[in-house]
Structure 1
C-alpha cells in the first residue's frame, strides 16, 4: 500500500514550511489528497512533484515556469533553460559591475580618501544609472538602426531648454503606477479616459517634435515589451501599455 504522509511529516522530512506547501497548493503546483476529516495527505506522486519543485527552484526557475514545465511532459525545456540562462547572464553582469564598483571604492579608501556613507551612496547611484543607460542602449540597438537613432537624437534637440529628463521619467513612472493600481478598468469609462488624457498630455513634449515614423517606431517597441521588459526597468508595464491602447481605440 502506498504510504500517505500528513502535512506535519512532510514539513519535517523536507524542511518546507506548511505555509509554503499551502502556497504551492494554491498555485496548483501540488494537489494533496484529503482525509475524511479534511486534513491534507501526501502520496508518492505529490511528494515527487514537491521534490521537482524544490529542485527547479534551486536553479532559480520562477513558480510560473515550474508550473508550465510540470503541466506538460512535452514542454519545451530548451526555451525555459535558455530564458533562465539569459536571466543569469544579466544578473552576472550586474554582480560584476557592483563588484568592480566596491573594489574601486575600497582602493580609494585604502589610499586615504575620506569616503563616507553619503559618498558611497552617490557612487552606487551613479553606477546604477550607468548600468541602466547601457541596458536601455542595448534594447534600442536591437530595434533601431543607427540612422533611426540619429533621427531621434536630432529631434530630441528640439525639446525646450528647461526639459528635465529625470523629472520626466519619474512622471511616467508615477502615471504608470497609478494606472496599474486602477486596473482592471473599462477602457471606455470616464476614469479610463481621464488617464488617457493625462497620458497624452505627458507625451505632448515628444509628440510636438517627433515625426510620424518616430511615434510609430516607439509604438512598435512597446508592443514588443514582452521581449525586453525583463532586461530593463520600463516606466510602465505591458499591462498598462495594453490598457492605453484599448482606451485610445475607444476614444478614437
Structure 2
C-alpha cells in the first residue's frame, strides 16, 4: 500500500463509506491534501483523525459535538462528557469487544513500534466491523432466520474475510464510487453508462447468489431498500440509499426496454 491513499482506498482500509468520508470533510473534521490532479490523498494523520471521529461516535457523541471537540480552540469537553455518561455505561459491553485490539496496538507502541498507515487503517477497520456487526444484529434478526444468518456468515467469511480488502471487495468499492459519481452528474438510469454500472452490480451479486440462494438475495435487497428505516450513525450499510435507488432505477429501465 502506498504512503498516500485515494478516497476509495481510505474508505475500504478504514471500513467506512466514501460518502461518510466526504461528510466528515464537509463538516471540517477532515482536510485531506490534494494531488496535482485535484484528487484527495489521505495519509497517516487523516487515518488518525478518522479513527478519533469513529471512536467518539461509538462512545455516543454526535458529529456536531465531535466537531466542537476537534476544531474549537476552547471546547467544553467536561460538559459534553457529562451528557454521555449514561449512554456510555449502556455500551460498555459493546466497547469491550474492541478493547483487546486497542490494547494490542498500544502494546506495539509501548515496544517502540510505529504503526504504519496500513496497520493503523486495519485497526480502525476492524473496530468498525466489530461495532457495526453488533449494532446490525437487531436488523439482521428482523429480516433473516437463524439458518439464513448462518448463510450470511458463510458468505461473509468467503468474500469479506476482513484481514485485508480482497479483489472482490475492491470491485465493489470501485462500482459504488462510479455510481456515486454518476449520481453527482445527474446521470439518467436509462443511459448506457448507467446500464453498464447495473451489469457490473449484477455480476458482483452472482457469486453471492450461488452461496446464499435467490430467496436470500431477494430478502437482502428488501433490507437495503428499507435502509432508511434502520440506518443511522451506528448502523451503516456498505452503500447509500441513493446508490441503491440508482441501481433499482437502472434495473427498471432495463426491464422496461426488454
State the TM-score, normalized to the length of structure 1. Answer: 0.50
Q: Which residue does 1:175 correspond to in 2?
A: 175
1:148 aligns with 2:145: yes
The whole-number CA distance in structure 1 between the counterparts of 2:63 and 2:200 is: 44
Let me know the Cα RMSD of the aligned residues: 4.3
Q: Which residue does 1:223 correspond to in 2?
A: 225
1:174 is displaced (CA, Å) by: 1.6
The whole-number CA distance in structure 2 between the counterparts of 1:105 and 1:180 is: 34
The whole-number CA distance in structure 1 between the counterparts of 2:149 and 2:63 is: 43
Structure 2's unaligned 5+ residue stretches are: 1-61, 68-83
State the TM-score, normalized to the length of structure 2. Answer: 0.49
Q: Which residue does 1:211 correspond to in 2?
A: 213
1:205 is displaced (CA, Å) by: 0.5
Q: Which moved more, 1:206-215 or 1:237-246?
A: 206-215
Deviations 1:80-123 (A, max 9, x none): xxxxx8xx87xx9899988986666556665xxx3411379636
Q: Which residue does 1:74 correspond to in 2?
A: none
Three-state SS of the structure 2 residue aligned to 1:117 is: coil
Q: Which has the larger radius of gyration?
A: 1
Q: Which residue does 2:195 correspond to in 1?
A: 193
- The residue correspondences of 1:113-128 to structure 2 (distance < 5 A) are 114-118=111-115, 122=119, 125-126=122-123, 128=125
The whole-number CA distance in structure 1 between the counterparts of 2:66 and 2:157 is: 46
Structure with more contact order per residue of length (Cα contacts < 8 Å, sep ≥ 6): 2
1:228 is displaced (CA, Å) by: 1.3
Q: Which residue does 1:129 correspond to in 2?
A: 126
In structure 2, relative to structure 1, the CA distance for the partners of 1:136 and 1:109 (3 Å cut) is closer
State whether residues 101 and 124 of structure 1, in contact with CA within 8 Å, keep that contact through their aligned partners in structure 2: no
Structure 1's unaligned 5+ residue stretches are: 1-56, 63-84
Three-state SS of the structure 1 residue aligned to 2:181 is: helix
- The residue correspondences of 1:1-252 to structure 2 (distance < 5 A) are 60=65, 105-106=105-106, 114-118=111-115, 122=119, 125-126=122-123, 128-144=125-141, 148-154=145-151, 157=154, 163=159, 165=161, 166-167=165-166, 168-183=168-183, 184-226=186-228, 227-252=230-255
